[in-house]
Amino acid sequence: MTDAYREVFEYLLLINALGKPVRIILIIALAWLALRIGGVAIQRLLTQREGRGIAMPEQRAKTLSGLLSSLLRYTVYFIAGVTILDELTGKISTILASAGIVGLAISFGSQSLVKDVITGFFIIFENQFAVGEYIQAAGVEGIVEEIGLRMTKLRDFNGELHYVPNGEIGKVTNHSRGTKRALVEIGVAYEEDLDRVLKVMADVCQQAARDLPDIVEGPDVLGVVALGESEVTIRVVAMTRPLEKWKIERELLKRIKLAFDQAGIEIPYPRRIVLSSVPAKARD
């Protein structure tokens, strides 16, 4: 035991003799190592593998992984920063004792940071949304890529990545939970037999219900919903799995159009008739 104490003491003397630059580099290296080891530990904790890890849905695991990684990052950065500052000034303990950590945070203008962190915890524990879900929040729509301790990352359909501070997230619309309504409206000419049109559309809907597994309920032909200037509008609705409504709407439109073409049913579209008059001299 005495030899072990002697080795530790000699190690500490060696570290002290190396000087501030080397000690600062060592602090940075230890912080990097802590982040790597902590990241691996978080992944193993939340990944269920052969009876190991915590059993939870994959999206929930990704969400907690992002939060814990963010918490680990800020903790390591804070400890490393305070330690380096103490190496440089030797007065950090006095500063923290006199001002207090809360006073120090306020002096850096981090009231919004505290709000972001608290809101982030509520988002996680209330399970408002998870990584991989499509939401609308703070005027932005997109897929949640990460929920951090301070901000949430959303990627919209244009591929742009939005960083939204958690404190700015108020009302949240989650499009990834529950069934969604797919709605299709198509117009036919007034000259068409409506009973025949409705029969053709009903046949299309029945076949689509058998072919498309993303349809949960329907599709159903609701009937005529509007009489326009040149067409009779008929509506079809279906309940779909989350994020599949747009695909189902496109597929229904395509199938109805092909069925109408096969049955000879006209879909009105604008036509332009050009009349040209021939001068009398030219006719003679």
Q: 2-109 adopts what CATH topology? A: Helix Hairpins (1.10.287)
| Statement: residue 105 has pLDDT above 60 | no
| Statement: residue 208 has pLDDT above 70 | yes
Burial class (CB in 10 A: 0-12, 13-18, 19+), 246: exposed
Cβ partners under 8 Å of residue 241, min gap 6: 179, 180, 214, 216
Res 49: pLDDT: 47
| Range of weakest confidence among 22-26, 63-67, 115-119, 162-166 | 63-67
Res 74: pLDDT: 75
Return the CATH number of the domain spanning residue range 121-174.
2.30.30.60
Give yes or no on whether 121-174 and 180-263 have one common fold: no
CA dihedral 116, 121, 124, 127 (to 10 degrees): -100
Res 278: pLDDT: 60
| Domain layout of the chain by residue ranges | 2-109, 121-174, 180-263
User: What tens digit of pLDDT does each residue of 33-91 get?
Assistant: 877 887 777 777 766 544 454 445 566 666 666 667 777 787 887 777 777 777 777 66
User: Above pLDDT 90, what percent of the chain?
Assistant: 30
| Statement: residue 215 has pLDDT above 90 | yes
Please report, for residues 122, 126, 193, 198, 209, the alpha-carbon distance to residue 263 in angstroms, rounded to integers and kept in the order given: 56, 53, 12, 12, 21
In words, the CATH class of domain 180-263 is: alpha beta
